[in-house]
Structures are given as structure tokens and as C-alpha cells.
Amino acid sequence: MRGLYFFRGVATATVVVALCGIAAAQTGRVGGQVKDEAGQPIKGATITAENANASPSSFTATTDDKGRFSIIGLKSGTWKFTAQAPGFAPEGGSLNVQTIGTPNPPLTFTLRKGAGGGGAGGALGGVAAKDLQAELAAADALYNAQKWDESIAAYKAIMTKAPSLSVINLQIAAAYRNKKDFDSALAAYNELLKMDPNNDKAKIGIGMTNLEKGDLEAAEQTLTAASQSTNATREVFYNLGEVEFARGKSDEAAAAYNRAVQMDPKWGKPLFGLGKVALNKSDTKGAIEYFNKVIEVDPTSPEAAQAKAVVDQLKK
């Protein structure tokens, strides 16, 4: 979408509410959250990952005060994940973990009070994980083929079978954005926020959709509000910088880009943004320094290729 990124990836557990970062080159990372039936995070829950064919064959993690967990070092293959906490029935499910390529989807478990069952079968309302993965792959193929209407219908059909997978709204919204049906995209993002009010990716999506729609003020308001969250991500600040730059607010854009750089000094996008700001202020020397920094810290990124081209042009 004209240089704007979209979000992909859907999980096969109780409820999916977020997307994970890119897996490491040789080992996989899986993260997520544990909540109770009221949607409140459970601190100190234990998550176990097991795969008899891997070495090591098991990993254990505990949740923080916001119910979040992360397990790093998983080899590729099918892992069984079980979440447990005192006073709650355990909940489990399986996920085919990848170590390269598509990021591993996050897992969010909803634990119920008592000592009763849970289990992988109930996690998706009776939908088999392997069947769901096949349907998701088919929907993704339609999306990648730019068959927007067909992909939207496929994603919605999956959500009808597994309503807890509300994160699919991110893909539905992305398809609508590619169709330039911005109002429908905004509606999809807002549907996700009903289930996960703190989902930064939905907030970013709303901001960038408003930018594409031409409503710069609404885009700025949405991303500014998202940036004030204690859990604001680097993507929030980068996209806020993009909106501020589009509004001609160079100082505000630089401040947002710098926040993103502080969070991840080796990410080329905000550094490239700072180069744009410098150029906008006729600071050619400063722009070249920023563009060279992009090439240094993020050499394989699209921004590095753009930065090299700009530097070559500026030095002529």
C-alpha cells in the first residue's frame, strides 16, 4: 500500500489479540497473553511448551503483571502449549512453530475458574487447528494475489467459525485499504478494538487509514493518543512521525522518529524519516549522516536502498 506496511498473521489458540515480532533466524519465538474470563490479565501464570521431537523438548515461562509471556529458542515443528494458574482450569493448544519466514502468531489463553477441563479442542470452538491453518493459508493466498473481495470473504468466513480470532480484522482492514474502501477498513479496526482495546496495531491502522483518506487531523489525533500509552511500540512513534511529516510539522515528526530510534537503534525506517526531516530543513549534511546511518545499521532494508540512492544523488 504505497510504502505503508500492513499486518499479517493469525493464531490458533483460545483468543488471538496481538501479533508477534519476526522470529529469529534459527530459533522461533512465541509470545502472547493469559487472561481470565473477564478479560483481566493473570499474573504469574505458567506456560509450558512441549515437543518430544525437539531438543530441548520443553520450555517454561511465566506471565508478567499484564499477563504477557514470551518463549524464545523453539525449534521448528509442532509444539503443544499449556497455560495454568492456581484456581483456574488449564487451557492448551498446538501451534506449528516456524523459525524463518512468516512471524509466529501469538497465543492468548482465557482461563476459567475451577478445576474443569479446557483443552485444545475448546480453544477454537471445535475448529481443528490444522483445518484453520489451511483456511488461513488459502485466505492469505487470495490476499497476496490481490483478490481483495475474495480474501475479505474468506477471512470473514473463518471468523464466523472461530469468532475469538478477532485479530483477523487486521487483514480484513488491510484488504479494504488496498481497495481504498477506507470507511470499511476503519470499521474492521474498530471491531478488533472492541475485543482488544489496547491493540496498538489497530490504532496504527486507524491512523494510517485516516492519512490515506486525507484526514490528517484525525490521523494525528489517533496516533498521538496511542503514543501516550505506557506500552506504545516503536511502530506507533514511527507512524506518528510519518503523519506529522505529512502535515508539515518537521519538529514534531523528528521528535516522534527519535522516540522510535531510541526504542530500536537498528531500525532503518525512523532514521530514514529523520533524513527526510533534515532534507526538508535544507540540512544536506545532516540528511546524508542519517541516510548513511540507515545503510550502516539496517543494510538489507528497503530504506537502505533508498538511502543509498538519495546519498548518491546529494553528492553529485
| CA dihedral for 303, 307, 308, 313, sign (positive or negative) | positive
Cell readout for 20 is 508477534
**Rounded Cα distance, 272 and 257, in Å:** 9
**Rounded Cα distance, 271 and 287, in Å:** 10
Query: Per-residue confidence of the chain (316 residues) as pLDDT tens digits?
Result: 433 332 233 332 322 222 233 333 346 789 899 999 888 999 888 888 888 777 777 777 878 888 898 888 888 888 888 888 877 888 888 888 877 656 788 898 999 886 443 333 344 444 555 566 678 788 888 998 999 999 999 999 988 887 767 778 989 999 999 999 999 999 999 998 888 787 778 888 999 899 899 999 999 999 999 899 887 888 889 999 999 999 999 999 999 999 999 999 999 999 999 999 999 999 999 999 999 999 999 999 899 999 999 999 888 7
CATH no. for 28-125: 2.60.40.1120
pTM of the model: 0.55
Query: For the chain, what are the domain ranges?
Result: 28-125
Exposed (0-12), middle (13-18) or buried (19+): which is 276, by Cβ within 10 Å?
buried
The three-state secondary structure class of 63 is coil
